Amino acid sequence: DARVTQTPRHKVTEMGQEVTMRCQPILGHNTVFWYRQTMMQGLELLAYFRNRAPLDDSGMPKDRFSAEMPDATLATLKIQPSEPRDSAVYFCASGLEGTEAFFGQGTRLTVV
């Protein structure tokens, strides 16, 4: 059963520390999304990749967030330095362009 895998599932870190979240998209999918979910803002698109190329990262705070796809099986979202306001659930999703997105289980980040 193909699925999007995210690690870690939970992360607690201190303010100022670097956080790296990883995502393994479903094999063969050519689009990858990073979303952030909070109670206040709901689902926010942070970044979107197609064929490993970043097409849109306008939703991402550029000064501290970065997203990459070093290869087709790995997408990363990095926060450096982390701040308490970054506490949220971060979802990775993958799909084929023009079809539905398949979501991972998310990484729950708490910055204290």
Partner 1 sequence: AQSVTQPDIHITVSEGASLELRCNYSYGATPYLFWYVQSPGQGLQLLLKYFSGDTLVQGIKGFEAEFKRSQSSFNLRKPSVHWSDAAEYFCAVGAWGTGNQFYFGTGTSLTVIP
Task: Give the residues lining the site for partner 1 (CB under 8 A).
Answer: 4, 31, 33, 42-43, 45, 48, 55-56, 58-59, 91, 93, 97-98, 100-106
Closest to partner 1 by CB, 52 vs 102, is: 102
Residue at token pair 């689902």:
43
β partners of residue 111: 13
Distance of alpha carbon 67 from its chain centroid, rounded?
8
Closest CA to 74 of 59, 90, 94, 60: 94
Nearest distance, CB of residue 81 and partner 1, angstroms:
27
Nearest distance, CB of residue 3 and partner 1, angstroms:
9
Closest to partner 1 by CB, 33 vs 111, is: 33
User: Residue 86: helix, strand or coil by DSSP?
Assistant: helix
Closest to partner 1 by CB, 65 vs 91, is: 91
The tokens of 86 are what?
A: 């970054």
User: Residue 84: helix, strand or coil by DSSP?
Assistant: helix
Nearest distance, CB of residue 73 and partner 1, angstroms:
19
Closest to partner 1 by CB, 64 vs 103, is: 103
d(CA 12, CA 95): 29
Nearest distance, CB of residue 93 and partner 1, angstroms:
8
